[in-house]
Amino acid sequence: MKNIKFLVLIGITFSLFTNCKKDNTVEDNTVSPVINFKFNAVANGLPLLNENQKIYNTSNDTFNISKFNYYISNIKLIREDGYIFNETESYHLIKHLDGVNSFSFSNLPEGNYNNIEFLIGVDSLRNVSGSQTGALAISNNMFWEWNSGYIFFKLEGDYKSPIQQIKNSYAIHVGGFKGIYSCLQKCKYNLNEMILAKNNHQTTVNYNVSIDEIFISPKKIGFDYYYANIAQGDKIFNEISINYKDMFSIAKIEN
């Protein structure tokens, strides 16, 4: 009987001990740093609001925009200690006139990041991988089925020019990653204000996207020039891609 009472006492003591341990367990609800990228389109110094907005360029063209789409991909963030973060499945489609101008990711390690890199377009591997999903789905209408490749940049609307004085539609679709006229462009930014990535915290990187720059630098390109040279194909598309590479500028970083 004494042995039974002793065993019962041990059982009760063990139960109390294990219950106390459970009560003292702290659940880890830590969330990795969240980084938001936001792209704000600007034309002639004003926000791009709708397809009725009249825009001017230095070639004396007037035009509006009904579509302004492009891919941001292969994002890298470089920390001040040299660590390089590569976003996985890094393919994002921006569609300004459809209100799709931002994206986020949250698996970034903590630290201070002072450089950003990304591509405008879709890398060669995914260009030849056939039908895909998400931002790369064919249903997004950013894929040339006849050419089995992605459209990196799409600008559409109506225009008038010194030669074309009656309003006419335009469609500038840029893509291609092979040879000397590759349109795959890499953008790099040294940050004056670092991204301070902290757990349970969000940072937003705000970009201004200058539509004016597409037509200005390093080569002046107007609609008359574009349509006079469109038969050259890859060459004119490469020229446009070099111009739009510089359309991004960091407006502010909100830590």
Three-state DSSP state, 169 = strand
Q: Is the pLDDT of residue 85 over 70?
A: yes
For residues 54 and 118, the answer to whether their CB atoms sit within 8 Å is: no
Does residue 88 belong to any structural domain of this protein?
yes
Does residue 51 belong to any structural domain of this protein?
yes
Stronger pLDDT, 53 or 1, i.e. the higher one: 53
- CA pair distance 35, 232, nearest whole angstrom: 40
Q: Is the pLDDT of residue 25 over 70?
A: no
pLDDT band for 198, please (50, 70, 90 cuts): very high
Q: Which residues contact 33 (CB under 8 A, 6 or more apart)?
A: 106, 108, 109, 110, 197, 198, 199, 201, 202, 203
Q: The domain containing residue 89 runs over which residues?
A: 28-254
- CA pair distance 196, 181, nearest whole angstrom: 38
Does residue 129 belong to any structural domain of this protein?
yes
Does residue 11 belong to any structural domain of this protein?
no
Does residue 173 belong to any structural domain of this protein?
yes
pLDDT mean over 86-104: 97
Q: Is the pLDDT of residue 190 over 90?
A: yes
Does residue 23 belong to any structural domain of this protein?
no
Nearest Cα residue to 124 out of 73, 189, 187, 188: 73
pLDDT mean over 246-255: 96
Does residue 140 belong to any structural domain of this protein?
yes
User: For position 9, what pLDDT does the model report?
Assistant: 45
User: For position 8, what pLDDT does the model report?
Assistant: 43
**pTM for this prediction:** 0.87
User: For position 29, what pLDDT does the model report?
Assistant: 73
- Split into its structural domains, the chain has a count of 1
Does residue 137 belong to any structural domain of this protein?
yes
